[in-house]
Amino acid sequence: MMNGKDYLYSTGKFAQLNGINKRTLHYYDAIGLFSPEYKAENGYRYYTCFQTVQLELILTLRGIGLSIDDIRRYLHSPSAEAFLRITTEQQQLIDRYIQRLQEAHALLERKVEKLKLGLAAKPGAVELVTLPEQQILLSEPISGRYDDADFAVAGRFSLRLRSRFGLYDNFGSRISAENILRGDYHGYDRFFACCRADTAEHDELRPGGRYLRTVFAGGWDSLGGAYDLLRSYAEQHRLTLTGYAYEEGLNEMSLQKQEEYQTMILVGVELPVHKWH
């Protein structure tokens, strides 16, 4: 027959047997959440082996994110219905947390890709690239003067992106190829943002095909030099600028000086048609 003392454990021993810190037991005891069941005549307090089940429940509830107050309320009146309710609520919270982590991971991937592109870029270089079709979201029309009205549009567009995607990459501006050919490098028509791969919502499709790409370092006021470079490259290679040019910042989160800001410009082109005689 088991002696009563055979299943009494001091705080240190009980903590060791259950793989937790002794200070955790002291804390749970102090707040009245989980206390030693047996008090000896000499004033020492002991846990019983049967309390392991209750401690495991508390640790499990803490592990899935319940607060001390929530656990205390449940332990005051435990039931299958109450346990089902709190676990269902926690599952929903965990699902939302996982979604936010996935959004953060996707955002970091895009930021890393852009930073790598900026680090590898050569000043004054223009390259011809082939890009797939891309879903984009568009803001309301803008004047391109970046005045109070344009900044108000940018604010509303930012709120729209945040409400749709939670975390999102920075958005850029676009300007028509017609404006570029006229030398009007400030005739922006809208802000744009590339859609994530996991959403079908979009306002427009950026066509797949050939694009000229360059990365320019400097402030917005000096972007005209990048567009002169693109026009010159297109003329030399008998390419026709078409559609829109899309401007995106690459390194806005790692700047030390404004003149280090890198802007990637993509502009659609059509290849020359060869006539055979």
The answer to whether 261 and 252 are in contact (CB under 8 A) is yes
Tens-of-pLDDT digits for all 277 residues of the chain?
345 455 799 999 999 999 999 999 999 999 999 999 998 888 888 999 899 999 999 999 998 889 999 999 999 888 999 989 988 998 998 898 888 888 888 888 888 888 898 888 888 899 999 999 999 999 999 998 889 999 999 999 999 998 888 777 789 999 999 999 998 888 899 999 998 777 778 999 999 999 999 999 887 778 888 999 999 999 999 999 999 999 998 888 777 777 788 899 999 999 876 544 4
List the chain domain ranges. Answer: 4-78, 104-270
Q: Which helix (H) or strand (E) holds 212?
A: strand 209-217
pLDDT tens-place string over residues 194-218: 987 777 789 999 999 999 999 998 8
pTM of the model: 0.70
| b/e sequence 113-143, b meaning 16+ C-beta within 10 Å | ebeebbeebeeeebeeeeeeebbbbbbeebe
The whole-angstrom separation of Cα 267 and Cα 263 is 13
Find the helix packing angle between 68-76 and 51-63, rounded to 10°: 140
The pLDDT of residue 64: 87
The CA distance from 212 to 233, in Å, is 9
Does the 104-270 domain belong in CATH 3.20.80.10? yes
Cα–Cα distance for residue pair 211/105, rounded to 1 Å: 28
d(CA 33, CA 71): 8
Extract the tokens encoding 199: 């959403």
pLDDT given at position 56: 94
Integer Cα distance of 130 and 271 in angstroms: 12
What digits encode the pLDDT tens for the residues 34-76? 999 998 888 888 999 899 999 999 999 998 889 999 999 999 8
Picking from 222, 229, 216, the residue whose alpha carbon sits closest to that of residue 260 is: 216
CATH T-level topology, domain 4-78 = Multidrug-efflux Transporter Regulator; Chain: A; Domain 2 (1.10.1660)
Using alpha carbons, select from 166, 48, 16 the residue that is nearest to residue 105.
Answer: 166
Structure tokens at 277: 């005689």
- Decide: helix, strand or coil at residue 12: helix
Residue 252 in 3-state DSSP? coil
